Amino acid sequence: MQKVYRIRKGLLGKNYFAICLFGLICAVRPLSPVELNHEKIHAAQQRELLYLPFFLWYGVEWFLLFCKYRNWEKAYFMIRFEQEAYRHQADLDYLQQRKHYRYNG
């Protein structure tokens, strides 16, 4: 079981309640198994890209998508890392069968 670190509610903004940073999952409240799985998928993505390249890629992709859609929330949901995490968050066995570098699949 991966440890979830509790943080203050205002740190993530009003619409977000969890974040995975350098493999550490932080949340403002206890997470459901599906929510925790979503964050664990991000931890796997970050680990395989050696953390800093993940955040660089994530930020650049979000910026380019924001320029394209002019909507920060749509840009967020279109990021390939988020798409993989949302697509497979309900499959609690996904990480056991996940293939590396399959962010769109």
Model confidence band, residue 105 (pLDDT cutoffs 50, 70, 90): low
Contact between 42 and 81 (Cβ < 8 Å): yes
> What would the pLDDT profile of 35-76 be if each residue is shown by its tens digit?
999 999 999 999 999 999 999 999 999 999 999 999 999 999
Q: How far apart are the first and last CA of the chain?
A: 26
| Residue scoring higher pLDDT (91 or 14) | 91
Residue-wise pLDDT tens digits, 18-30: 999 999 999 999 9
Contact by Cβ (8 Å): 9, 24: no
Q: What's this model's pTM, rounded to 2 decimal places? A: 0.93
At 35 the pLDDT is 97
Per the document, the length of the chain is: 105
Identify any residues that bridge with 18 across adjacent strands, giving them in sequence order.
27
Q: Quote the Cα angle for 78-81-85, to 5°.
A: 100
**What pLDDT is stored for residue 34 in this prediction?**
98
Rounded Cα gap, residues 82 and 21, in angstroms = 14
